[in-house]
Amino acid sequence: MPAKPKTKPGAEQAPSPTPGGTPRDSAARWRRRKDARPQEILEAALAVFAEKGFAAARMEEIATRARVSKGTIYLYFESKEAMFKALVHEMAASRLAGFVDLAREHQGPIAPLLGGILRNLGAFIATSDLVVLPKIVIGEAGNFPDLARIYRKEVVERGLSLFAGILQAGMDRGEFRKVPVQHAVRLCIAPLLLAAIWRTTFAREDATHYDYSGLIETHITTLLKGLAP
């Protein structure tokens, strides 16, 4: 998560009131702008990571993209690794945590729950800029093993645990046939990872836009037929 902003002399100062505005109005606008700054920095970091890779990304480039000074970045994030961790946490917190709650509270047949979560994850992969994170991890894991550890803990292990619980519930209720869960969970995730890698690596060479939703629907149909008792 973004670190709490530190006070650093000369880093940022509230602007003077604009013509026609009161000091209170100006201060409120400045606070709103300052509150939004960590997210703006993360969006800039993600764009630079996607273009240059993690190793080649420079704080100066991120600052330029975010339209802030390099010193301002350090008020919120102590390093590139801290920004990457915040992006991964955002990805996990905004999606997987919600799905865990959904699965915990679900009542009724398991197949619609499994299909619904796969569809939501497929839509996320097809539309979110955060989809570049797996590619960054795969490309940089050799030189930056901490990136792989962070991503595995925050995303991979949560995802495996989520699908393992859903599959096991379906097997326990007799809705799914019994299969090795440790393999089945990876079969659930594999097409999602393929879609993420395809979109961030190969899609620019596609003659036509690839139908990611069609891939997910085909995956759900095949998966559920394979799990049928």
Identify the residue whose tokens are 């569809």: 119
Other CB atoms within a 10 A radius of the CB of residue 80 amount to 20
Identify the residue whose tokens are 């629907």: 217
CA-CA distance, 71 to 160, in Å (whole number)? Answer: 39
In single-letter form, the type of residue at position 69 comes to S
> What is the predicted pLDDT for the residue at 32?
45
> What is the predicted pLDDT for the residue at 10?
41
CA gyration radius, the chain: 21
pLDDT tens digits for range 31-88: 545 667 999 999 999 999 999 999 999 999 999 999 999 999 999 999 999 999 999 9
Sign of the CA dihedral with 37 first, then 62, 155, and 185 last: positive
Domains annotated for the chain, with CATH where assigned, are 1-78 (1.10.10.60), 80-227 (1.10.357.10)
| pTM exceeds 0.85 | no
Mention every residue, 6+ apart, whose C-beta is less than 8 A from residue 12.
Answer: 34, 72, 75
CA-CA distance, 28 to 127, in Å (whole number)? Answer: 33
pLDDT band at 30 (very low <50, low <70, confident <90, very high): very low
pLDDT tens digits for range 104-130: 999 999 999 999 999 999 999 999 999
CA-CA distance, 165 to 175, in Å (whole number)? Answer: 14
Which whole number is the average pLDDT over 156-175? 96
Please report, for residues 17, 19, 67, 93, the alpha-carbon distance to residue 26 in angstroms, rounded to integers and kept in the order given.
5, 10, 20, 33
- DSSP structure string for 9-27: TTS--PPPPPTT--HHHHH
